[in-house]
Amino acid sequence: MALAEGRYEPNERLKAAREEALIIWHKVWLVYRALRSAALFIADEHRRGTLRENLRSIVKARTLAITADMSHAELLEEKAAKLGDTSFLMFRDEALSYREMDRNANRVANFLASLGGGPGQGLAIVMKNSPRWLDVFYGLEKLGMYAIPVNNALRGDQLAYILDNCDARFLAIDHDLLPYYQAIADRAPGIETVLVNAEEAPEGFEPPPGTVDLAGAYGPNSNAARPNVRANPDDLCVIMYTSGTTGLPKGVVYRYRSTNVKALSILTRILMKKGDVAYTCFPLFHANALFLTVTTAMHGEGKVALGEKFSASRFWDELRRYRVTTFNGIGAVLPILMKQPRRPDDSDNDVRVVVSAGCPADIWRDFEERFGLKIFEGYGAVDGGSVLITNFGTAPVGSMGKPLGSKIRIIDGEGQDVEPGTPGELICYAGESKGSVEYFKNADATSDKVRDGWIYTGDLVYTDPKGYVYFVGRNTESMRRRGENVSAYEVENAILQHPDVLECAVYAVPSELAEDDIMVTLVPLEGSTVDPATLPGFLNDRLAKFAIPRYYRVVDALPKTETHRVIKKDLEKLGVTEDTFDSESEAS
């Protein structure tokens, strides 16, 4: 606590000195790990014969712009040749080696080729997490096809839009999800071949006429040899659709020449140790699971423990079962885990590092101490090019850190740089790297995203005097009340400090004063109740008066994507409901 004379209590000074010493130590560690990672990258590129081309492109673009990239399937082939029968994927009670994964991918590739699959053709994957999802993903790349990982929770118009927009000719879908496709099949006329995954189907289930059983790719007569096909570098490799929480989903394009697979190797070798076990319960259609867990674990020559769905009550037991050493925490996962009842065995786990995106500062150190691990913070986006901002213990708690191998600016609405401490939009330098961000069949969105060599992220951030970056919120989630800008993210973090609130969403609703009023919808902790009338008082010492929400609604669950991101547009459409508490009405 600050004293009147400007001095600090001894324990506060000691704490600050300790934090600064930890930052310095981690910076030294990061320099060592980064140099080691760069050396291994150079050795790999020399072996592959692409070192000169990629060094030239990196120097020219002045950022990590790799023009001779590799596919995910090529990485799998490399590791299968090197590691053979070493275990790679664990799912339920099943364990598959690198070699088995590669051979299964070959089986799927040859099966697809027998059905007319080949370079330049698209295949949409509408499946839940399983080894077969990855077999299809790697297999299609071996034919030079492109993958469209689709949110398996989509229905109706949302599913029809993506399947039509992506121009896929093939569809791989789980048997229990097939009816949702059949209901909109006439609105996705480009789909010619439907492969049905009938694993775990009820006894007697047969794929409908006109569809193909994916099981045909496996069995004693299947062909496990690699197809003699090489992809065209300029062809599509993956189209990863955004969640569409604020509008129609946009298809983010990865071409075979720019998959980001090689760039991920640099990050992997900084963070991971050989033999690490990486866990994900997030769906494989999401970049966090597919790229930041599966691909990085493969680069690190480790293992993947693949879960099926996030469960706060079973989370740590599942991690203990697979002896997990690292996992990614996105959305509200860490706060939800922190709100669970304490157990004597909370720290009885093998987890070494959690890579978080948006861990609230007020739970950061408590989470580390309670579960016996280290939190690293990272910032990146599926449509953010190769931009990465990291805090590997190298910045204060609550900060995203500083850019790793990229250049950033923070600008106001006029495009001018803002001063430290002032929020502005984060933009990242893409240089002359070709196609740093590309949206499928959406040139307007592409040109709006990348302007004059800079990627406009739509994220609001600020820096402190030392240049550390702090997240404020999305541009689209910024509210204006009583002449002041308000960050939904900051208001949410303040509300989550309430001991009986499990999670919440803050958003703008129309105000009679022509600006915004602020509304929060919240979910109480299981077994607890929250009286909305008490919340304004709770927030008085935590937020500026203009940032305290006017409206409060308590519900059993928030509408979410499959990756636990709240769908705020659904809440905004509901607006102020009959069961909403109006703090200003009560006050008057």
The residue assigned the tokens 């009550």 is 313
| Cα distance between residue 449 and residue 426, in whole Å | 12
Query: Do 522 and 534 form a contact (C-beta atoms < 8 A)?
Result: no
Q: In the structure, what pLDDT confidence band is assigned to residue 247 with cuts at 50, 70 and 90?
A: low
Position 385 scores a pLDDT of 61
- Most confident by average pLDDT, 17-31, 162-176, 508-522, 549-563: 162-176
Of 534, 516, 538, the C-alpha closest to 586 is: 534
The predicted model gives 53-75 an average pLDDT of: 89
What Rg, from alpha-carbon coordinates, does the chain have?
25
The predicted model gives 248-260 an average pLDDT of: 92
Quote the tokens at residue 307: 């879960």
The residue assigned the tokens 């077969």 is 132
Q: How far is CA 576 from CA 518, 523, 588, in A?
A: 10, 16, 18
Q: What is the mean pLDDT of the chain?
A: 91
Burial of 514 (0-12, 13-18, 19+ CB in 10 A): exposed
Query: Do 469 and 400 form a contact (C-beta atoms < 8 A)?
Result: yes
| Cα distance between residue 47 and residue 39, in whole Å | 12
89-105 pLDDT per residue, tens: 999 999 999 999 999 99
Counting every residue written for the chain, the total comes to 588
Quote the tokens at residue 267: 């990050």
The predicted model gives 108-137 an average pLDDT of: 98
The topology under which CATH files domain 10-42+260-473 is Rossmann fold (3.40.50)
Of the CATH numbers 2.40.160.10, 3.30.465.10, 3.40.718.10, 3.40.50.980, which one belongs to the domain with range 78-86+93-255? 3.40.50.980
Question: Does residue 586 surpass a pLDDT of 80?
Answer: no
Please count the other Cβ atoms lying within 10 Å of the Cβ belonging to residue 187.
13
Position 57 scores a pLDDT of 87
Question: When comparing pLDDT for 132 and 274, which is higher?
Answer: 132
Quote the tokens at residue 7: 């001095």
Q: How far is CA 436 from CA 66, 144, 202, 451, 522, in A?
A: 10, 21, 46, 11, 38
Assigned CATH class of 482-587: alpha beta
The predicted model gives 254-271 an average pLDDT of: 93
The residue assigned the tokens 């009820």 is 202
Query: Do 493 and 360 form a contact (C-beta atoms < 8 A)?
Result: yes
The predicted model gives 157-173 an average pLDDT of: 96
Position 3 scores a pLDDT of 36
Least confident of 242-251, 349-358, 393-402: 242-251
The 3-class SS string of 301-324 reads CCEEEECCCCCCCCHHHHHHHHCC
Least confident of 56-70, 252-266, 336-350: 56-70
- Which residues neighbour 431 within 8 Å (Cβ) at sequence distance 6 or greater? 60, 61, 62, 63, 65, 453
Query: Do 213 and 173 form a contact (C-beta atoms < 8 A)?
Result: no
Bridge partners of residue 560, in order along the sequence: 566
Question: When comparing pLDDT for 331 and 230, which is higher?
Answer: 230
Position 475 scores a pLDDT of 79
The residue ranges of every structural domain in the chain are 10-42+260-473, 78-86+93-255, 482-587
Question: Does residue 515 surpass a pLDDT of 90?
Answer: no
Quote the tokens at residue 394: 């190298």
- Which residues neighbour 514 within 8 Å (Cβ) at sequence distance 6 or greater? none
Q: In the structure, what pLDDT confidence band is assigned to residue 386 with cuts at 50, 70 and 90?
A: low
Question: Does residue 437 surpass a pLDDT of 90?
Answer: no
Secondary structure (3-state) at 124:
strand
- ∠ CA 557-285-97, rounded to 5°: 120
Secondary structure (3-state) at 165:
helix
Position 72 scores a pLDDT of 98
The predicted model gives 257-280 an average pLDDT of: 93
Cα-Cα-Cα-Cα dihedral sign, residues 121, 126, 129, 130 = negative
Query: Do 523 and 503 form a contact (C-beta atoms < 8 A)?
Result: yes
Tally of CA atoms within 13 A in the half-sphere of 438 that contains its CB = 17
Question: Does residue 173 surpass a pLDDT of 60?
Answer: yes
The torsion angles phi and psi of 95, rounded to 5 degrees, stand at: -135, 130
Quote the tokens at residue 328: 């990614």
Position 554 scores a pLDDT of 97
Least confident of 222-231, 243-252, 363-372, 482-491: 243-252
Least confident of 5-19, 280-294, 387-401: 5-19
- Which residues neighbour 4 within 8 Å (Cβ) at sequence distance 6 or greater? none
Query: Do 146 and 140 form a contact (C-beta atoms < 8 A)?
Result: yes
Position 544 scores a pLDDT of 87
Burial of 325 (0-12, 13-18, 19+ CB in 10 A): buried
First to last CA, the chain: 37
Q: In the structure, what pLDDT confidence band is assigned to residue 516 with cuts at 50, 70 and 90?
A: confident
335-380 pLDDT per residue, tens: 999 999 999 999 999 999 999 988 989 999 999 999 999 999 999 8
184-221 pLDDT per residue, tens: 999 999 999 999 999 999 999 999 999 999 999 998 88
Q: In the structure, what pLDDT confidence band is assigned to residue 80 with cuts at 50, 70 and 90?
A: very high
Phi-psi region of 530 (alpha: psi -120 to 50; beta: other; left: phi over 0): beta
Question: Does residue 419 surpass a pLDDT of 50?
Answer: yes
| Cα distance between residue 194 and residue 189, in whole Å | 12
- Most confident by average pLDDT, 83-87, 360-364, 444-448: 83-87
| Cα distance between residue 404 and residue 214, in whole Å | 42
Position 482 scores a pLDDT of 75
Cα-Cα-Cα-Cα dihedral sign, residues 584, 585, 587, 588 = positive
- Which residues neighbour 259 within 8 Å (Cβ) at sequence distance 6 or greater? 69, 70, 71, 72, 237, 238
Q: Where are the beta strands (DSSP E) in 187-306?
A: 193-197, 211-213, 236-241, 251-255, 277-280, 303-306
Query: Do 212 and 194 form a contact (C-beta atoms < 8 A)?
Result: yes
Question: Does residue 550 surpass a pLDDT of 70?
Answer: yes
Are domains 10-42+260-473 and 482-587 of this chain identical in fold?
A: no
Question: Does residue 1 surpass a pLDDT of 50?
Answer: no
Q: In the structure, what pLDDT confidence band is assigned to residue 161 with cuts at 50, 70 and 90?
A: very high
Query: What is the Cα 357 distance to its own chain's centre?
Result: 8
pLDDT over 70 percentage in the chain: 95
Bridge partners of residue 439, in order along the sequence: 252
pLDDT over 90 percentage in the chain: 75
| Cα distance between residue 114 and residue 548, in whole Å | 62
Query: Do 535 and 552 form a contact (C-beta atoms < 8 A)?
Result: yes
| Cα distance between residue 283 and residue 371, in whole Å | 24
Position 448 scores a pLDDT of 83
Position 243 scores a pLDDT of 76
The predicted model gives 379-390 an average pLDDT of: 75
Q: In the structure, what pLDDT confidence band is assigned to residue 411 with cuts at 50, 70 and 90?
A: very high
Sort strands 551-554 and 251-255 into parallel, antiparallel or unpaired: unpaired
